[in-house]
Amino acid sequence: MANITGNTHGQWIILSGMTISLTLVLLAVLANQASITGFNSSHSALEFPKEQIRDLTLGVRDYSISAAKLAYELNNTNNTNNETVRNIFTRLLNDYTSQVSTIHSIYGNNVNVTISKIVFNSTNNSIDTIWLNIYYDDGITYFACEPEIIEVI
């Protein structure tokens, strides 16, 4: 025992051994982190409903503009007032929302669109701006746009 403790040769071997073991530990940690990062990023990209939300918002925007113009045309035909345009627009939007919501329910998503405010043109009965609340919920991600302001050109 005295011989072993008193022997100071081979210091470089011990140091290199330590360096090797520390390098291996570092590499193992890095490899592990890379795998976890790859898994998390791929999983997040698949889980997060970015495209569904974008498609919903764009669809509602496009449809609202068309529905506002259609409501105005139907109003002109019947020669009535702002309130009639509002009622026609509300019915058209509800029809659209109901269908979109039903189709989204196949995937277990909850979708809803409500009217917050409608601004009419002061000179005629046409709709200038629509304020909508858009909700999307797939159980993990909840999205609410309160309000989505749509300018009818």
3-state SS, 70-89, equals: HHHHHHHHHCCCHHHHHHHH
Residue closer to another protein by CB (options 45, 122) is: 45
Secondary structure (DSSP) of 37-77: HHHHHHHHHHHS-HHHHHHHHHHHHHHHHHHHHHHHHHHHH
CA proximity to 113, closest of 145, 139, 140, 89: 145
Candidates 25, 38, 83, 142; binder of another protein (CB under 8 A) is: 38
110 contacts 137 by C-beta, under 8 angstroms: yes
User: Which one of the spans 79-87, 90-98, 113-121, 124-132 is the region binding another protein (CB under 8 A)?
Assistant: 90-98
The verdict on 87 binding another protein (CB under 8 A) reads no
- Residue 117's beta-bridge partner residues? 131
Site for another protein contains 16 (CB under 8 A): yes
Block residue for tokens 């659209």: 96
Q: Which stretch binds another protein (CB under 8 A): 2-10, 79-87, 120-128, 130-138?
A: 2-10
Least separation in angstroms between CB 113 and another protein? 12
Footprint on this chain of another protein (rule: CB under 8 A):
8-13, 15-17, 19-20, 23-24, 27-28, 31, 35, 38-39, 42-43, 45-46, 51-52, 55-56, 59, 62-63, 66-67, 70, 74, 88, 92, 95-96, 98-100, 102-103, 106
